[in-house]
Structure 1
Amino acid sequence: MIILHPDVLISGTRVGGSTPCVRKAVLGEIYKSSAPSLPALNGILGHQVFEQCLFHGDFSEGFIKKQIKTAIPGYVEDIYTIGKSEKECEDFLSTLVNNITTFGNKYGP
């Protein structure tokens, strides 16, 4: 990953979607999935926590942990659908705290 403008966050999906692909519709039909998956759920929750840190300009460990606890209840159904517990999701998200804090210390307010 190359970051040219750290104040602008553009997802890989957005970048990939900016180029035309004639096979996109076919591939989308073959590989579509409506069921939640662990990587997708972890990504959604991680991005939600990170987004709140950016929005509030607070990258402290305490604030991040509070956002983790706030984000998880909104996805309880998906968490149980994939056979995980809220604690397991919280444990995974806790592994992101240092990276988010480091980013905030480098690029934050």
Structure 2
Amino acid sequence: MIRTGKGIVARHWTGEILRAKGVVERKKGEVLMEETLTIRLVLQMVCEAGWRKIAILSDCRMTTDYIKGNNVQDGILATILEDIEDLILDFDYCTISWVPRMCDVNHEKNFLIVHPNILVSGTRVAASFSCSRRTILDERLKSNAYATAALDGTLLYQIFQAGLISESLSREFLEQYTTIVFQKNLDTFYACGGRNFYCYIDICNFYCYIAFL
């Protein structure tokens, strides 16, 4: 599966990280196009945040050159650049400059992890900038996998499917099969706190939407 990722980090002039965002898309992106889209996204985010003075640094020199006025032949890219020009006007101060890439991975510096023990998405990494403990807590303190609402949906799906297979969506058939389904899922009811009676009532309330007779 081919994926393209964008990473945005907003810092105060003192170096303090204020915000971060990671975007992952299932597509094969071109560097010039993706960097230009990212700069437009940055301007939109900063504008919504109400910041009036910003300096954007990009490691794609071609993108910064195009923004400064170089002729662009690609129609889609030209449209994005026009959006960037319009967004810049909303700020009291805005510069977009090229900086050399400082984090290239090679034999002399940095690490490239190819077999991680824990897989962490770009979104979780970005969320960790505001609180270094948040990602770990979100990962380890997940909500209970046995949720009553999810169980209701699963059982209702099984009942409806049985009615379609048997070509009988009468209320009588649905009530009979509901009893069978409940007996097969007693362990899940206990995992949800033993509220099988209330869950049964919830399922019965949906009969009016799927029963034909």
Pair in the same fold by TM > 0.5:
yes
2:202 to 67, 92, 106: 92
Corresponding residue number in structure 2 for 1:82: 192
Compute the RMSD of aligned alpha carbons.
2.9
Paired residue type of 2:197:
K
State the partner residue of 1:13.
Answer: none
Segments of 5+ residues of structure 2 without an aligned counterpart are 1-22, 27-119, 124-134
Runs of 4+ in 1 over 2 A off after TM superposition: 21-27, 29-35
**Using a 3 Å threshold, how does the CA distance of structure 1 residues 69 and 23 change in structure 2: closer, same or farther?**
farther
**1:71 Cα deviation (Å)?**
0.5
The TM-score normalised by the length of structure 1 is 0.62
Say whether the 8 Å CA contact 2:148–2:199 is kept in structure 1.
no
Identity %: 21
More strand by percentage: 2
- In the alignment, residue 46 of structure 1 is paired with which amino acid? L
Match of 1:43 in 2: 153
Larger RCO: 1 or 2 (CA < 8 Å, sep 6+): 1
How many residues align? The count is 82
Normalised TM-score (structure 2): 0.33
Change (3 A) 1:88 1:23: farther
Higher helix share: 1
**Structure 1 stretches of 5 or more lacking a match?**
1-20
Question: Shift of residue 87 of structure 1?
Answer: 1.7
Deviation string 1:51-105 (CA, Å, 9 cap, x unpaired) is 001111101110010111111112111111111332222111100111111xx46
Instruction: State the alpha-carbon separation in 2 of the partners of residues 23 and 87 from structure 1.
Output: 44
The aligned amino acid for 1:63 is: F
Contact 1:53 1:64 (8 Å CA) reproduced: yes
Partner of 2:166: 56
CA shift for structure 1 position 33? 5.9
Flag the structure with larger Rg. 2
